[in-house]
């Protein structure tokens, strides 16, 4: 694996590899890698000549400075995992390299309703920050295929919308890879590293609440199921930001199963200090 820290060097490398049949797969990450990330690398390796992974903890997408300060950084381990997975390029830029002109945003991304619901409602400005960094990364890497994890489903929709807005949807294909779970159902996430032993024991309750909805769809409609499963989480001590049943395509909330051909339940809840998100396809 080649480690590249400078945008210009990566751009030159991409240019040198390009010919008619070269395919470049790209996995953007914020590091603290786990098996979920590695499954994205594996998906990319199957379909592309080269796989590029970026590790960059992007300051502009953190609405809470404490969350940014405490975001886990495990770069030595990340390098080992990426080497073992056969990743070709690790792009590990500095903040200066990614934001040479500072953090002020000179382009506002028009994302529509998706940016102000669910995560967007609780994390003001988050998706503009995601778009700033992903736009910059796409400019540098110029991938043919982009791999994202379903755990951040709303982010997948936002990034697809960004690609559309930038007129790149003919050029870049987005692949959403399934969420990987621990044996007890907890969705793999870099933030899980910050859970204490006690919090880790409680954390699978989130998946249990989602499964409860999936298992009771035939008997009950969304509003009642949302109420019951939110209460399940609150009774365990979680602070629920949202637990919503929505249409998979645009994440708009549904009140009756008939309103959607493909529904999904999405949740964000605090386990003490740690905010966990998850989602589950229902149909
Ligand atoms: O999902 C993440 O890790 C980040 O939001 C991303 C897509 C790498 C942008 O910083």
pLDDT tens profile 33-73: 999 999 999 999 999 999 999 999 999 999 999 999 999 99
- Give the distance (Å) from ligand 1 centre to CA of residue 234: 28
- Give the distance (Å) from ligand 1 centre to CA of residue 54: 9
Q: Which numeric CATH code is attached to 190-281?
A: 3.30.1300.10
- Among all residues, which ones are annotated catalytic? 37
Question: Hey, is 4 helix, strand or coil?
Answer: strand
Give the residue-averaged pLDDT of 265-280: 98
- Give the distance (Å) from ligand 1 centre to CA of residue 258: 33
Closest C-alpha to ligand 1, atom 8 = 29
Q: Which CATH superfamily is domain 2-177 in?
A: HUPs (3.40.50.620)
Given ligand 1 and candidates 109, 133, 141, which is best to mutate, with the most ligand atoms within 8 Å of its CB? 133
Closest C-alpha to ligand 1, atom 6 = 29
Residues of the chain with CATH 3.30.1300.10: 190-281
Residues of the chain with CATH 3.40.50.620: 2-177
pLDDT of 106 > 90? The answer is no
Helical pair 75-85 and 35-47, crossing angle rounded to 10 deg? 40
Using CB distances shorter than 6 Å, the residues near ligand 1 are 28-30, 58, 61, 130, 133-134, 152, 155
Helices (H), ranges, the chain: 7-17, 35-47, 65-69, 75-85, 95-98, 119-122, 126-141, 153-165, 197-202, 205-215, 222-235
The answer, as to whether pTM is greater than 0.95, is yes
- 28/55 Cα distance (integer angstroms): 7
The pLDDT of residue 45:
98
Closest C-alpha to ligand 1, atom 9 = 130
The pLDDT of residue 283:
82
Quick: pLDDT tens for 186-236: 999 999 999 999 999 999 999 999 999 999 999 999 999 999 999 999 999
């Amino acid at each position: 694996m080649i480690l590249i820290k400078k945008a210009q060097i990566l751009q030159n490398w991409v240019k040198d590899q390009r010919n008619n049949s070269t395919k470049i797969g790209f996995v953007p990450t914020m590091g603290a890698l786990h098996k979920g990330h590695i499954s994205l690398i594996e998906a990319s390796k199957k379909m592309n000549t080269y796989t590029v992974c970026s590790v960059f903890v992007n300051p502009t997408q953190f609405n809470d400075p404490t969350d940014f300060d405490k975001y886990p950084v495990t770069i030595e381990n990340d390098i080992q995992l990426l080497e073992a997975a056969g990743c070709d390029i690790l792009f590990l830029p500095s903040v200066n390299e990614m934001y040479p002109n500072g953090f002020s945003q000179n382009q506002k991304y028009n994302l529509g309703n998706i940016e102000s619901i669910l995560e967007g409602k609780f994390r003001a400005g988050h998706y503009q920050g995601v778009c700033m960094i992903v736009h910059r990364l796409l400019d540098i890497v110029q991938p043919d295929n982009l791999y994202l994890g379903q755990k951040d489903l709303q982010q997948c929709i936002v990034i697809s919308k960004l690609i559309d807005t930038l007129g790149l949807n003919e050029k870049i294909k987005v692949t959403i890879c399934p969420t990987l779970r621990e044996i007890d159902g907890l969705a793999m996430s870099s933030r899980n590293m910050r859970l204490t032993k006690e919090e880790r024991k409680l954390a699978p309750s989130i998946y249990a609440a989602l499964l409860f909805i999936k298992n009771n769809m035939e008997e009950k409609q969304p509003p009642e199921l949302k109420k019951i499963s939110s209460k399940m989480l609150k009774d365990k001590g979680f602070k629920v930001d949202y637990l919503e049943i929505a249409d998979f395509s645009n994440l708009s909330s549904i009140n009756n199963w008939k309103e959607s051909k493909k529904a999904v339940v999405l949740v964000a809840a605090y386990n003490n200090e740690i905010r966990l998100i998850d989602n589950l396809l229902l149909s």
